[in-house]
Amino acid sequence: MKWTATNHITLTDPYLVNAEQKLLDYLLSFDEDKLLYEFYQVAQLEAPTSTGYQGWERSDLINFRGHFPGHYLSAAALAFKASDDQAIQNKLEQKLENMVKQLGHIQEAYAAINPASAGYLSAFTEASLDAVEGIPAPANQAENNLVPWYILHKVLAGLLDVHEVFIQKNDALSQLALEIATRFGDYIYKRMMRLKDKQLMLQIEYGGMNDALYRLFTFSKNPNHHTAATYFDEVELFKALARGEDVLAGKHANTMIPKFLGALSHYETTENPEEMYLTAAINFWDIVINHHTYATGGNSQSEHFHLADELYHDAAIRVGDCTCETCNTHNMLKLTRRLYQLTHDSKYLDYYERTYINAILASQNPETGMMMYFQPMDAGYNKVYNRPYDEFWCCTGTGIESFAKLSDTFYFSDEDTLFINSYFSNQLHLAKANLLLNLQSNADFSQINITATAIDSNQPILIQELAFRIPNWSQKTRIEVDGQGQEVSNEADFIFVALGKEIQLSFDPQLQFEATPDNPNYGALVYGPFVLASRLGNEAMDADNPNGILVRVGTKLDYLETDIIVEKEDWLSDIKPIESEKYSMAFELKASNQHVEFVPYYQIHDERYGIYHLYLTAANNKQKNGKSDQIVDSLNNFDHNNSEFAKGLEFNHSFIATKEGKNYRIAEDNGWFAYDFGKLKSPVNKVRFVFHQEDLNKELQLTINDKRYSIAVEGLNAEVFIEKEIEIEEAGELSIRFGAGVGIFGIYLLG
Ligand SMILES: [Zn+2]
């Protein structure tokens, strides 16, 4: 099977047309010289601009510099491919030509002054890679970026995307991009070969380095690139997943997903590959979807997987601000597409549709085109989008790629059959097959009208058969081809029909309640493939909270009434469709305590919303516990990365590790670690710490704003995790310094 390339498809659904246009406006607004500013610094060349971009691209403070230019190469190439506007294509091509030429020049200049490191191409110095390998640089040369291989992966992937898109369209550009990528691959191979412990660099997020190097190998055919890729395969992890073990708890989610893209690439590019690589990716997908995934298709809390089936706990109790990082769904969709290609199991296409709508489309502001980082699943939140030029989050990087290929999974073909996978309105133009297909849907995908015509009416259409995907959400499906109707079995994945001139498809979407496994009353409403969200007013829409390095997340207005008191157990039948001018569909539930209106989550942007609510009958509402303390600030993600450094991590003889699937930090003898929570947004009168029972009966020494405390880790029951609170009174700034010997699994500042 072959996916139909985006250049054959014109979006006509107005929501998607706008989404694509907003992305193009954003891409064309960049100064590509500025994107490369830091690359010039590393090669000791004078840059054509006096400054670079800031945010994660800054160099003076902790940063991820170089990641966004890599994403930009990919997104601009993909947008070039998807566009049918010559003027836009020309502008994107010019930008890419300019960038790739400059990158070639920078790579050569670096090689001239560092011949042993020829091929290196980066926005930060090699000291950063040395540090990952356990060779700290002298203080005046130490780097301040956090995840060097992750960033280099983006640059390599960007060059390969330019190479692939411009084959036969601009061979000079395509070849130059491949030459630069090849030299870069040679450098990585050399570096890997001299490294004794090749597992060392796997400890820090490295994106999809294995995937990108396997892909480079398919173009370069240089076996060294394949060998280098294998060093980024985490074979022990793959084996655990291949055995079906859910080892995900405590792991950084978006580090994990690309590893399995790499496992698939290993499988596809290796002669006589072990089946284990494919099984690992299949099982990983199943475990993530069945035990760690929300109704939107998203996963993770605070960027991490936690214990299986604890979705209510993670969204409503842990800290709900930072569920569902958008990068994760971007990468899950890549994995899903490839797994479908290898297995032809229709569950992958159903997940693709659900996630594409409710995690990807949902992440973009339709007015500004900017994109979300975390997507809170709980009720009471606003959506927070990146600012265009001074943040550059990871999710802005993957976001520009997602919106540059909106139609890439709409169609595929197999011999004479054309498969139709997506039901967003569009036009398909297949010149080679002499076919123009016009697909027009209504708002809820219950009615799809298709017309098929010959582009040249004197010639035959070369497609014999159409196959329409039967979505898992349709209870009853009917098809009519040129007036001839037939019922369709819902057991089948596709309806196969001979090509006709006019085809009508009817699907039968139903309203569903999808509860979390750990709380049957906590759930989301879904209509067909559309996740619904409640409309909760537009108060404090500009509010945000800091989270991680320069990241902002939505705020929850606690005083909003978000529990829904239903009148009977079978309350779903009380939800009725209503008219809406603003949204493509709307429903109303007249609950006992409030009237709630539900609309598609992906379309909400200027109102507060709730995806998951507690639906309680009057009886079980009474049993619900009273309100707990308000969390003013917290740290429960000990990652030696974004989360900890955002809290001003300082340490000496201290490290992070994992127990029971939870990360923690501990200091060794004579060691310590400290966090600075900065200015408090409201007064704090208690601090809650989370310990592990293995530290029972130990004493922890700590200092809060210069005041010393000693906490005895005591537990009356056999809980695995022990919570202890101390009373304080602080309203200004707050910093905590921990002594040695006791692992810290969570810090909650309570008001
Ligand atoms: Zn991200």
Q: Give the tens place of pLDDT for each residue, 15-61.
A: 999 999 999 999 999 999 999 999 999 999 999 999 999 999 999 99
Average pLDDT rounded to a whole number, residues 207-213? 95
pLDDT category at 730 given cuts 50, 70, 90 is confident
Q: How far is the CA of 28 from the centre of ligand 1 (A)?
A: 22
Q: How far is the CA of 373 from the centre of ligand 1 (A)?
A: 6
Q: How far is the CA of 372 from the centre of ligand 1 (A)?
A: 9
Q: How far is the CA of 551 from the centre of ligand 1 (A)?
A: 10
Rounded Cα distance, 469 and 492, in Å? 9
Q: How far is the CA of 324 from the centre of ligand 1 (A)?
A: 9
Q: How far is the CA of 339 from the centre of ligand 1 (A)?
A: 22
Q: How far is the CA of 64 from the centre of ligand 1 (A)?
A: 12
Q: How far is the CA of 296 from the centre of ligand 1 (A)?
A: 16
The pLDDT value recorded for residue 279 is 98
Query: What is the CB-side half-sphere exposure of residue 423 using CA atoms within 13 A?
Result: 28
Q: How far is the CA of 43 from the centre of ligand 1 (A)?
A: 28
Q: How far is the CA of 644 from the centre of ligand 1 (A)?
A: 16
Question: Is 0.75 surpassed by the pTM of this model?
Answer: yes
Q: How far is the CA of 378 from the centre of ligand 1 (A)?
A: 19
In the chain, where are the structural domains located? 31-232, 523-617, 631-750
Q: How far is the CA of 242 from the centre of ligand 1 (A)?
A: 26
Dump pLDDT digits (tens) for 580-620: 999 999 999 999 888 999 999 999 999 999 999 999 988 77
Dump pLDDT digits (tens) for 501-560: 999 999 999 999 999 999 999 999 999 999 999 999 999 999 999 988 999 999 998 788
Give the containing element (helix H, strand E) for 482: none
Rounded Cα distance, 677 and 128, in Å? 27
Q: How far is the CA of 398 from the centre of ligand 1 (A)?
A: 7
Q: How far is the CA of 127 from the centre of ligand 1 (A)?
A: 25
Q: How far is the CA of 400 from the centre of ligand 1 (A)?
A: 12
Residue 718 above 60 pLDDT?
A: no
Exposure class string for 385-408: b at 16+ Cβ within 10 A, else e:
bbebeebbbbbbbbbbbbbbbbbb
The pLDDT value recorded for residue 717 is 57
Dump pLDDT digits (tens) for 734-749: 999 999 999 999 999 9
The pLDDT value recorded for residue 203 is 84
The pLDDT value recorded for residue 490 is 78
Q: How far is the CA of 512 from the centre of ligand 1 (A)?
A: 29
- State the helix-helix crossing angle for 148-166 and 86-113, rounded to 10 degrees: 130
Output DSSP code: residue 372.
B
Q: By C-alpha distance, which of 751, 733, 393, 355 is closest to 553? A: 393
**Count of Cβ atoms closer than 10 Å to residue 308 Cβ:** 17
Q: How far is the CA of 57 from the centre of ligand 1 (A)?
A: 14
Q: By C-alpha distance, which of 54, 38, 160, 150 is closest to 102? A: 38
Q: How far is the CA of 701 from the centre of ligand 1 (A)?
A: 36
Average pLDDT rounded to a whole number, residues 566-574? 92
The pLDDT value recorded for residue 626 is 47
Least confident interval from 350-364, 427-441, 558-572, 613-627:
613-627
Average pLDDT rounded to a whole number, residues 706-723? 80
The mean predicted confidence, pLDDT, of the chain is 94
Q: How far is the CA of 401 from the centre of ligand 1 (A)?
A: 12
Residue 569 above 60 pLDDT?
A: yes
pLDDT category at 69 given cuts 50, 70, 90 is very high
Residue 706 above 90 pLDDT?
A: no
Q: Which CATH class is domain 631-750?
A: mainly beta
Residue 625 above 80 pLDDT?
A: no
Q: How far is the CA of 328 from the centre of ligand 1 (A)?
A: 7
Residue 260 above 90 pLDDT?
A: yes
Dump pLDDT digits (tens) for 505-522: 999 999 999 999 999 999
